[in-house]
Every structure is written in structure tokens, then in C-alpha cells.
Amino acid sequence: MKHIAMTALFVGALAVSACSNDRFGNGRFGGGSGDFVAGSPSDPRSPAYFNQTIGDRVLFAVDQSTLSPEGVQVLTQQATWLMENTSYTAVIEGHADEQGTREYNLALGARRASAVQNFLIDRGVAPNRLQTVSYGKERPLEVCSDELCYSKNRRAVTVLAAGAFTS
């Protein structure tokens, strides 16, 4: 019963998501600011809970891909959630701030995404449920050119998707 209700909600979310974000037409949740997220942040089984209550992202120091203690805390909960909600897969996006060349930042974003992926796999999430992508400095969240924004842009975001990967 509960399951059916969730599925219906899910489909609605997909439709909205597909219109609101041309970057992800394939049923991913979150990743950008202002995406519609399914469920309520207080429902522990909902993507909204994952994105907002647990937190879908971890931040990094300048030029680093080492997980911070705060990051480890967030990712530990992400891993637990993913283990309990096995119908979801995730693409982990690695991002960099704008201080750096395009190519280097792509490689740096790949390191960050991979650090998160490795952590989640170590905590038991099946490797075939996780993919990584680097956006380098191409998709900043915050647009100012100082550390206040840079610190939020140096991130790895775990973007949930419904179902297995196709390809």
C-alpha cells in the first residue's frame, strides 16, 4: 500500500523533473539548485530526505579530494540510505571552483567524485549502482568570485536516479 503511493509520487516527480532541467532527462533527482525533489524531507525513504535531511553533497578544500570529517559523516548516512533503498542508483558529480584551468579542474572533479564513490562502495553500496562524472568548473552552484562561493562549488553531489543504469 505504502509502496503504491510512493510509486505514484515518483512518476509525478519524473515528469516535473524532465521539464525543469534539460540536463537530466532520465529521472535523476537533485544535482542543481531548485530541482523538484520527490517526497518529504521528513520521510526517511524519500529522495528529499536523502538530498536535504542527510545532505546530497560534500565539500572539499582547495585543490583537495580528501574527505573532510563532515563529509565522512554525510557519506556514512548516504551509504546507509542507499543500502536501505536499493531501487535507486546514483551518479556522483565532481565539481571544482573556477580557480584553475578547464582540463585540470575536470581531472580534479573526477578525483572528488571518485573519493565519494570509493567511500560509498567501502560502506557496502554495490558498485554497479554508482557512476561518476566530472563537471570541472563548468557548473558552479554559486556565481560570485570569492571564497564564499568557491567553497560551495568545490563539491561532490550524489544525484539519485530511479532504477538501474541503462547503457
111 binds other proteins (CB under 8 A): yes
Contacts of 147 (CB under 8 A, 6+ apart): none
Nearer to other proteins, 53 or 99 (CB): 99
- Member of 14, 48, 74, 110 binding other proteins (CB under 8 A): 110
Question: Nearest approach, Cβ of 3 to other proteins (angstroms)?
Answer: 29
Nearer to other proteins, 54 or 96 (CB): 96
Q: Which of residues 15-74 bind other proteins (CB under 8 A)?
A: 22, 24, 26, 32-33, 65
Total residues contacting other proteins by CB under 8 A comes to 39
- Member of 14, 54, 74, 91 binding other proteins (CB under 8 A): 91
Nearer to other proteins, 4 or 143 (CB): 143
CA dist., res. 144 & res. 87, Å (int):
37
